[in-house]
Amino acid sequence: MAKGARASSIKANNTALKTKVFGPIETARTERLSAKLLALAAAPRPSTQKDAGDVSMDVEGKTTPLVIEFKLNSVVDAAAPAPLKSALKVTKQADDMEVDKDTTQAPASSKPSSGRIEKKRSARSRSSGIVFPKYKNGKKVGTKSKKSGFFPYKPFLPGLAEYEAPGFGFGATPPKAPFDKIVFMVVDALRSDFVFSNESAFTFTQGLISKGAAMPFTAHATSPTITMPRVKAITTGSIPSFLDVILNFAESDTTSSLAAQDTWLAQMKAKGSGKLVMYGDDTWLKLFPDTFDRADGTSSFFVADFTEVDNNVTRHVPEELRNDDWNTMVLHYLGMDHIGHKAGPRSPNMLPKQKEMDGIVEQIYTAIETQKHLQDTLLVLCGDHGMNDAGNHGGSAPGETSPALVFMSPKFRKIFAGDESPIAATDEFQFYETVEQSDIAPTLAGLLGFPVPRNNLGNFIHQFFPMWRSVDDQFHLLVSNAKQILKVVTAAYPASLFGEDSPQDCQNPSSDIERLACDWKLITAQLENRGEIFPPHTDPLFYDIVTWLRHAQDIMGSAASDYNMGKLYAGQAIAFLSQILASVPAAPVRRTSYPLLAITLSYSVMVFASSFVEEEHNFWYWAASGWIAALIFKTARSSLTTSFSCVVVLAGLRLTRRWNQTGQKFAGEPDIARTFLAEHTTLLWALVFAMYMWNCYSLSSTGFPHLPRSIAKGISQLLAVMAAAFKVAFTHEDAPELLDWAASKVAELTTGFSLVTRARGVFIGIGLALAQVIGAEYLAEVRRHRFASTRTIHNLLTLFLITQSRATNIPLIMIFSAQFHLLHNLDLNLIEVTITSIIFQYTSFFAFGGTNSISSIDLSSAYNGVSGYNIVAVGILTFVSNWTGPIFWTSATTIMLLRLRASGEKNVLKHYIALQTVFAATSLCFVMIACTELRSHLFIWTVFSPKYLYSMAWTIGQHLGMNIGLGSLLFWLGTY
């Protein structure tokens, strides 16, 4: 869907570019080319023996052979007028008659030229391959950097850009900028429809668009769509590394700082015309240390706060608008992103938040209109990324990659007649023209009067060229942009390709980069021989440069950084070695492990297909159904009761697979959690309270074996009431639309304590109960209740998992509990327990709404009981809330293993861990191989790289931390 939306938006942009901006471009092109080609046909041919087949040009007093090979655009060829066709025919005849004869006398060191001037204008590149450059020194890309692995940092040009004469008759003095100050307002997760659609509350902004005082765009944000890499793209104009996904969550990280890189913030500071101030997301302070003269940052991960986090920004705005000592003010509002994470884009809090942000825009724009010292101020409103239907982001769905972008100033009324606003919403979230997010940096450079950042890959947004009346100024900006990007291209690819004496065949270029080089030589030749200056909207050269910029942006945007192949292969070797080592202790049970082998190999092969990675949940749902069907077939011969138990488990699986629609193909489709239960809130809370009552009954009946029954019952009820009250209060703040009248009454009766205090109360209560169970059993002279104590710990863990789950997912834990109870009563052997554990861990992960996309990470419960950012606490809570199902089945599996041990089977835990490790190591090894071998795949960063990150989480967090760590601890407590 994302790829189709992107393709359609590019096609629409190209159409608009031809019809609205360049006007009669094809007519002007054909007329001018006809004249030039006719003149060329009539001109005398070169008579010198040296390079006789080449056209000579005098550049700065030197006669330099210039080989230009160039094909007319197929569109122009088809519609070429008679003069142009005649010119082509005459040129070909002259070429055949004279030029080809002379090529035999060319030196052997030079490649013979046909002498034909063929204009090659290819369509915008759609290559899906990642191109690996051959560097000047001839070394392969993998040996360029020894510090980078699969997620390397892209190399960058150091230093601060300075104005340089672009050549071709243009001076070093840049065109005069129309603005000298900027208010850059970022609203986190500001999806395009939140501003432009008829369902938006940005009424003032829409009024500016219709009046011509605001120029709207949809800014395409490449994956990963999370704050840190998007801010990097906005400020540098470059393409960030996928490694920023990890750095985005490690808020204490400083290695991702942009202090050493050229950005438009650094350029504004270098101008020395004023101070830089920033209020909002402290990501800016981490990326740009010592850049801002006044700042007040807030944590971007404390998602429970919708209001204070934005009020902390807004309270500084009136005072700063009165100050005249700054030239840059950055505002980054987080409330909208927090609402999305907590309750999704359709939350009742969303429209009030939009109205609040629109009010800030009105306040700033009004000050620009009325205050003299702000009359040359540019206001930019944009989102760093969007959000999907679940309110998350990080992936490549249309909603995630389509943030809004609006440039606002009264000066725009002179060049912009206005546009329809609001307009109807679309599923692809494409409104007005779509630009790249990296285009912001060079556009600001022109509008504010500073050099384009050195590592920029963006293009100046062509709608702003009319801000300069002089045609020379407009060409100056465009050519400067092209020369700057040329430096980035030649830093990654051989500069000799773009030289006048480059050896490549421009008639049949073998790669995109060679085609780009040939097009650049054509543009250079046209710039050197420019005659009469034409307005950009009728000058074909202007269109040629814009097309070249887009082609260069495509190539550099898809080009990979240096891979350290040594590290990649070393990692694969280590994973393969761990697989072999794990197979040794699993050898005693290998004869009965064929079903596990089949699942492992099937899953491992699957990771090589991008569609299967995106829809992995289907594999596990079918594997679970097939496995339970096999158990039904096995038990049917011995007992109909056990077969019926398996049928009930299978029915539970049917419910869980429809609980949350996940993956990419059917994401956002109706499901039980977000559609059915959201409409039947009474049923939802009946199921939620039933789960709490079930847990309370389990604790009071078998838990706390060393305490009197009455005390055990009282503790169980107190914990259940505290946890239920917290969940009701949490939902009241998080998603009040899910509360029915009874739950609302409960929320009203329990007011008076903050959510942090309540969550801490639940956690402390669970911790004290856990300590009592372990301590009482450890101090007992005769340990008769070890198994009961383990069941109690499992129930306490279940209560903790309920606390970390969304209200709509709590009934899932009740289904898991019922399935566990039924499976526990079956006579499963070790292999069957292991297979059941693996299948149900993965099935439950996807049933809770998990995917292999970064956007499915749920942060809604990451701050339960946390009043500030603590990377350890938030990291643990985030993992628990996203791996709730697998953690539950880890604990449940341990109880089934204890039963196996009690039946007399030896080395149960050892063999279980060995089998789990074989599966984990094999799957990780195949994922690593897939990422290495498919590193040039179109979806390497949007599909396979997130899958690799999730595989790391599964291996380190779930397997090592839960299956081995937690599982071994519970097993030890049940056997010591």
What span, in angstroms and rounded, lies between the C-alpha atoms of 489 and 496? 11
Distance, CA of 503 to CA of 491 (rounded, Å)? 19
Q: Write down the pLDDT at residue 832.
A: 92
Q: What is the pLDDT of residue 142?
A: 30
Q: What's the mean pLDDT in 914-939?
A: 84
Residue 227, domain member (yes or no): yes
pLDDT given at position 523: 83
Is the domain of 211 the same as that of 329?
yes
Give, in order, the Cα–Cα distances in Å from 958 to each of 154, 833, 943: 31, 17, 21
d(C-alpha 236, C-alpha 264), whole Å: 7
**pLDDT value at residue 504:** 62
Residue 784's pLDDT band (cuts 50, 70, 90): low
Residue 729, number of CB atoms within 10 A of its CB: 21
* Side chain identity at residue 179, one-letter code: F
Say if 809 falls within a structural domain.
Answer: yes
Taking the CB of residue 129, how many other CB atoms lie within 10 A of it?
A: 13
Q: How confident is the model at residue 655 (pLDDT cuts 50, 70, 90)?
A: very high
Pair (765, 908) in one structural domain: yes
Given a cut of 90, is residue 127 above it in pLDDT? no
Per-residue confidence (pLDDT) for residue 216, from 0 to 100 = 95
Placement of tokens 């243009």 in the chain:
170
Q: Are 754 and 739 in contact (CB under 8 A)?
A: no
Q: Are residues 578 and 455 in the same domain?
A: no
Rama region for 138: left / alpha / beta (φ>0; ψ in -120 to 50; rest): left
pLDDT tens for each residue of 704-732: 777 888 888 899 999 999 999 999 988 88
Widest CA span in the chain = 112
CA distance 563 to 925: 18
SS3 label, residue 502: coil
Over range 570-591, report the average pLDDT: 74
Q: Which residue has the higher pLDDT, 316 or 170?
A: 316
Residue-wise pLDDT tens digits, 256-274? 567 778 899 999 999 988 9
> Exposed (0-12), middle (13-18) or buried (19+): which is 500, by Cβ within 10 Å?
middle
Compare 674 and 331 and report the one with higher pLDDT.
331
Write the DSSP string, 526-540.
HHHT--S---TTT-H
Return the DSSP state at 66. Answer: E
Neighbours of 198 (CB within 10 A): 11
Given this model, what pLDDT does residue 255 score? 45
- Does residue 166 carry a pLDDT above 80? no
Q: Of 467, 483, 517, which one is at a domain's C-terminal end?
A: 467
Instruction: Give CA–CA dist 965/968, Å, rounded.
Output: 5
pLDDT-based confidence at 493, cuts 50/70/90?
A: confident
- 3-class SS letters over 272-325: CCCEEEEEEECHHHHHCCCCCCEEEEECCCCCCCCCHHHHHHHCCHHHHHHCCC
The verdict on 332 and 225 lying in the same domain is yes
Backbone phi, psi, residue 279, to 5°: -140, 130
Q: How do residues 794-811 score in pLDDT, each as one tens digit?
A: 999 999 999 999 999 999
Does some domain include residue 264? yes
Place of tokens 């120029």: 215
* Whether 579 and 458 share a structural domain: no
Question: Do 364 and 184 contact (CB within 8 A), yes or no?
Answer: no
Q: How far is Cα 871 from Cα 421, in angstroms, rounded to an integer? A: 43
pLDDT at 759 over 80: yes
Arithmetic mean of pLDDT, 361-373: 95
Nearest to 452 by CA among 730, 681, 238: 238
Query: Would residue 656 count as lying in a domain?
Result: yes
Residue 967 has pLDDT above 60, yes or no: yes
Q: What pLDDT does residue 506 have? A: 74
Q: Are 185 and 360 in contact (CB under 8 A)?
A: yes
Please compute the mean of the pLDDT values over residues 459-473 and round it to a whole number.
89
Last residue of a domain, one of 420, 435, 467: 467
Whether 844 has a pLDDT exceeding 90, the answer reads yes
Tell whether 462 and 596 lie within a shared domain: no
Q: Which of 14-18, 328-332, 429-433 has the lowest mean pLDDT?
A: 14-18
Three-state secondary structure call for residue 459: coil
Of residues 655 and 97, the one with the higher pLDDT is: 655
Evaluate whether residue 648 is within a structural domain.
yes
Rounded-to-integer distance, Cα 798 and Cα 795, Å: 5
pLDDT of residue 243: 57
Instruction: Return the closest-CA partner of residue 407 out of 378, 367, 450.
Output: 378
Query: What percentage of the chain reaches a pLDDT higher than 70?
Result: 77
Residue 314 is part of a domain; what is its CATH number?
Answer: 3.40.720.10
| Same domain for 943 and 804 | yes
Let me know whether 610 and 733 are in one domain. Answer: yes
Read off the pLDDT of each residue in 18-24 and give the average, rounded to a whole number.
46
Domain membership flag for residue 319? yes
- What was the pLDDT predicted at 532? 62
Q: Please check whether residues 461 and 591 belong to one and the same domain.
A: no
- What pLDDT does residue 47 have? 41
What is the rounded distance in angstroms from the CA atom of residue 611 to the CA atom of residue 242? 20
Give the pLDDT confidence score for residue 206 in this predicted structure.
95
Interior/surface letters 408-440, b for 16+ CB within 10 angstroms, e for the rest: bbebbeebbebbebbbebeebbbbbbbbbbbbb
Between residues 358 and 936, the one the model is more confident about: 358
Query: 59 pairs with which residues across the strands?
Result: 62
* Domain-embedded: residue 71: no
- Sign of the alpha-carbon torsion through 36, 42, 43, 49: positive
Reference 59, options 651, 696, 750, 521; nearest CA is: 521
CA dist list (Å): 449 to 215, 262, 470, 475: 19, 15, 16, 15
How confident is the model at residue 591, as a pLDDT? Answer: 63
Pairing of strands 275-281, 326-333: parallel
Of 422, 396, 402, 274, the C-alpha closest to 664 is: 396
Q: Do 327 and 439 fall within a single domain?
A: yes
The answer to the question of residue 937 being in a domain is yes
**Residue 897: which domain range?**
565-973
What distances in angstroms separate CA 473 from CA 166, 215, 450, 535, 545, one per listed residue? Answer: 12, 21, 14, 11, 15
- At position 462, the amino acid (one-letter code) is H
pLDDT at 108: 39
- Domain termination residue (choose one: 416, 451, 467): 467
179-238 pLDDT, tens digit per residue, is: 999 999 999 999 999 999 999 999 999 999 999 999 999 999 887 788 888 888 899 988
pLDDT band, residue 239 (cuts 50/70/90): confident
Number of domains in the chain: 2
The more confident residue out of 581 and 326 is 326
Note whether 323 and 458 are same-domain residues.
yes
Closest-CA residue to 832 (of 611, 649, 578): 649
pLDDT exceeds cutoff 60 at 335: yes
* β-sheet bridge partners, residue 436: 220
899-904, long-range: CB < 8 A, 24+ apart: 899/824, 900/828, 900/829, 900/830, 900/833, 901/975, 902/787
The overall average pLDDT reported for the chain is 78
Rounded to 5 degrees, what are φ and ψ at 669?
A: -75, 160
Query: What's the full length of the chain, in residues?
Result: 976
pLDDT, residue 694, reads 93
Asked if the model's pLDDT at residue 368 lies above 90, the reply is: yes
Q: Residue 589's pLDDT band (boundaries 50, 70, 90)?
A: low
Q: What proportion of the chain, given as a percentage, has pLDDT over 90? A: 34
Two tokens at 950?
A: 């999730």
